[in-house]
Amino acid sequence: MKNGKWLALALILAVATLGFAGGDAEGAKGEKTFAIVYPIVHPFFEPVTKMATEYGKTKGVKIQTFAPEGTLVNQQIQIMEDLISKKANGIALCATDPVALAPYLNKAVEAGIPTIAFESDMPESKRQAFMGTHNYRAGVHLAHVVARDLGGKGKMIICTGLPTQLSLNERIRGIKECLAANYPGVQIVDLQTGQGDPAMTLNVIEAQIQAHQDFDVFTSIDATGGPVAVSIWRAKGWKGDKHKIITFDDMPENLAGIKEGIVNAVITQTQWTWGPKIVDVLLSLGEGKAVINYDDTGTIEITAKNMDTYRQDKAWVYKFEK
């Protein structure tokens, strides 16, 4: 997504809290309003909004989405406080910082608002369910793919996003522990953060490349770094032979990189399935029904072999047991 479109979407999301309908504004037909609170404005979340909105219409649910400008925790806190005060019918939260946001999620639950965590869990909160990727397993999945493509030996550089986001930290933990236990010949030589900001991420990755010119594989933990790396590789005329890219998330730039031979593999979440799940879980909670406490939606490895079918071919869903 171009920066201008990112900015426009950011403004829409940031202003959206002012017009939140809330539970007090249920229409004559009993329409409910559910809020999805994102950690950052990013095209990765577009399928979540799209599918939740389309599915919600079939269930009498209106979807409103919110995100802080940039990655400001205080703004996400303000969004939560606003949603609580306006009595949202349900909230799905992907927290920028699970510790800082836990009191506000708890406050929503205590106010009787069905509230769940998605994408990034908040295990120390009163969240009523988690839905999304088991991120430790996602990290393990990527580590196995990296080791396979490197033949069990090589140097790895990593760029991550928000350092407070639990989902990203769990992926890193999964990568580190899997490599240490199974592939000691694969060494992580550098781990830096780009804070989820494309410009900062560009500078970080370029510095990593300069500092570790003999690296074998690059990985981004969030959805920002992969597309940035693809643009760097393309500018340098690199392919995925000497310097591989094995990264997270099925961003259009990452998929284009696979087609061009720049990206070797992508481990993607199944975020296109989350929207309907969010609607169903919040509806069930609102009706007092039991829900799955932890719904792991799995990860898929995308390569040139399955990039045109990976969303339909369930055989590519990969779930690890601890």
Residue written as token pair 């009523």: 128
Q: In whole angstroms, give the CA distance from residue 224 to residue 193.
A: 11
Q: Are 158 and 192 in contact (CB under 8 A)?
A: yes
3-state helix, strand, coil in the chain (%, to 5): 45, 20, 35
For 66-92, write each residue's pLDDT tens digit.
999 866 789 999 999 999 999 999 999
Instruction: Spell out the per-residue pLDDT of the chain, length 322, in tens.
Output: 334 333 334 333 443 443 455 554 455 467 999 999 999 888 999 999 999 999 999 999 999 999 998 667 899 999 999 999 999 999 999 999 999 999 999 999 999 999 999 999 999 999 999 999 999 999 999 999 999 999 999 999 999 998 988 999 999 999 999 999 999 999 999 999 999 999 999 999 999 999 999 999 999 999 999 999 999 999 999 999 999 999 999 999 999 999 999 999 999 999 999 999 999 999 999 999 999 999 999 999 999 999 999 988 553 344 444 3
Q: Is the pTM of this model over 0.95?
A: no
Q: Are 286 and 88 in contact (CB under 8 A)?
A: no
Q: In whole angstroms, give the CA distance from residue 307 to residue 260.
A: 12
Mean pLDDT score of the chain = 89
The residues with which 154 forms a beta bridge, in sequence order, are 186
Q: What is the token pair recorded at 242?
A: 């000497």
Domains with residue ranges and CATH for the chain: 3-133+271-291 (3.40.50.2300), 135-269+301-318 (3.40.50.2300)
CA separation, residue 154 to residues 149, 191, 216, 232, 317 (Å):
10, 15, 6, 21, 27
Helix 274-286 to helix 46-58 angle, to the nearest 10 degrees?
A: 50
- Give residue 199's pLDDT: 96
In the chain, which residue ranges form alpha helices assigned H by DSSP? 3-16, 46-58, 73-85, 98-110, 135-150, 166-182, 198-211, 225-236, 252-260, 274-286
Closest CA to 269 of 288, 254, 285: 254
- Give residue 29's pLDDT: 64
Q: What is the token pair recorded at 237?
A: 């005329």
For the chain, state the CA radius of gyration. 20
Q: Assign residue 26 a region (left: φ > 0; alpha: ψ between -120 and 50; beta: otherwise).
A: beta
For 9-47, write each residue's pLDDT tens digit.
433 344 344 345 555 445 546 799 999 999 988 899 999
Q: Are strands 90-93 and 154-160 parallel, antiparallel or unpaired?
A: unpaired
Q: Are 193 and 204 in contact (CB under 8 A)?
A: yes
Contacts of 308 (CB under 8 A, 6+ apart): none
